């Protein structure tokens, strides 16, 4: 790898850090998968370990040895010395980086990374029994938090509808603590009926007159289950709820009628995945 000290982002390779939007990054190699920006050593390390290839690094100068060297070694381990040696590492003072990128970095390091090809739906669900379905959740923070809960609490994979925030957006990946790279996920335009056809019991998380408890025996004993979570505020649309096998809710007290989707997901995943 080549270490390059900078005081501007005029280099064409650095425009991905300063000028391109998340959508432009997603479409960078269109029709092939694009790129994303990973932030913080922990997130970048998990991405590299999962086989996502770095294109370059942008590092706070005084954190180079502390934060970047282990990432360099991991890149060599995963992709070989020849490929790793071709990657540029750009360094600058923190105030320079913040000014150039337009935001305050978390723990002083960014990496532009290649996306992997997207699996088809049938390949993705093969062998999976516990899925989280994120239905039009547009807030990247909530997407990242739900993914982190799903990974931590034992779900087998995550499906996101087309209208969801991209799980590889910088903020979503950071909030997930890099678990977006550890749990299988797919962002796909597919109906809930398709999950039913493949033998999943679909459970809409919503407050309805016919809602059952998330701990209901019929849900607990389902062979394959998909928990469907709706967007902030509006929740799941009626057509999505009506498609699901069950509508479930989390029992609440003190007049509280709902939880943030990230908090609700954690409770639901724990209840579904716990033994006994």
Q: Where are the domains of the chain?
A: 2-114, 121-273
pLDDT tens digits in sequence order for the chain, 276 residues long: 788 888 776 777 788 888 888 889 999 998 899 999 999 999 999 999 999 999 999 998 888 888 888 999 999 999 999 988 899 999 988 877 777 766 666 668 899 999 999 889 999 999 999 999 999 999 999 999 999 999 999 999 999 999 999 999 989 999 999 999 999 999 988 889 999 999 999 999 998 888 999 999 999 899 999 999 998 777 899 999 999 999 999 888 888 877 889 999 999 999 999 875
Architecture of domain 121-273: 3-Layer(aba) Sandwich (3.40)
Asked if 52 and 34 touch (Cβ cutoff 8 Å), the reply is no
What is the C-alpha to C-alpha distance for residues 224 and 83, in angstroms, rounded to an integer?
A: 41
Assess contact for 213 and 203: CB atoms under 8 A.
Answer: no
User: Which pLDDT does position 24 carry in this prediction?
Assistant: 92
CA neighbor of 275 nearest in space, from 153, 145, 148: 153
Instruction: Find, among 24, 8, 5, 169, the residue nearest to 101 by Cα.
Output: 8
Q: Which residue has the tokens 């989707």?
A: 261
- The answer to whether the Cα torsion of 224, 144, 186, 212 is positive or negative is positive
Indicate the CATH number for domain 2-114: 3.30.1330.30
Q: How far apart, in whole angstroms, are the C-alpha atoms of residue 178 and residue 36?
A: 13
């Amino acid at each position: 790898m080549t270490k390059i000290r900078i005081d501007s982002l005029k280099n064409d390779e650095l425009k991905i850090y300063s000028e391109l939007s998340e959508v432009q990054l997603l479409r960078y190699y269109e029709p092939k998968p694009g790129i994303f920006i990973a932030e913080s050593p922990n997130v970048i390390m998990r991405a590299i370990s999962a086989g996502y290839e770095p294109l370059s690094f942008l590092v706070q100068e005084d954190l180079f040895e502390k934060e970047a060297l282990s990432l360099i070694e991991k890149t060599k381990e995963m992709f070989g010395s020849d490929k790793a040696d071709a990657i540029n590492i750009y360094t600058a003072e923190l105030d320079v980086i913040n000014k150039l990128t337009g935001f305050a970095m978390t723990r002083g390091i960014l990496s532009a990374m290649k996306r992997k090809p997207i699996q088809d739906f049938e390949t993705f669900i093969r062998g999976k029994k516990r899925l989280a379905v994120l239905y039009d959740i547009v807030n990247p923070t909530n997407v990242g938090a739900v993914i982190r809960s799903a990974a931590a609490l034992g779900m087998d994979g995550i499906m996101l509808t087309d209208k969801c925030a991209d799980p590889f957006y910088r903020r979503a990946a950071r909030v997930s603590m890099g678990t977006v790279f550890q749990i299988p996920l797919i962002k796909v335009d597919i109906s809930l009926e398709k999950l039913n056809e493949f033998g999943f019991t679909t459970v809409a998380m919503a407050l309805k007159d016919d809602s059952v408890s998330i701990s209901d025996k019929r849900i607990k004993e389902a062979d394959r289950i998909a928990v469907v979570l709706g967007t902030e505020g509006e929740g799941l649309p009626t057509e999505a709820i009506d498609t699901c096998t069950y509508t479930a809710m989390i029992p609440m007290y003190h007049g509280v009628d709902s939880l943030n989707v990230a908090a609700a997901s954690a409770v639901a995943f724990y209840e579904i995945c716990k033994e006994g």
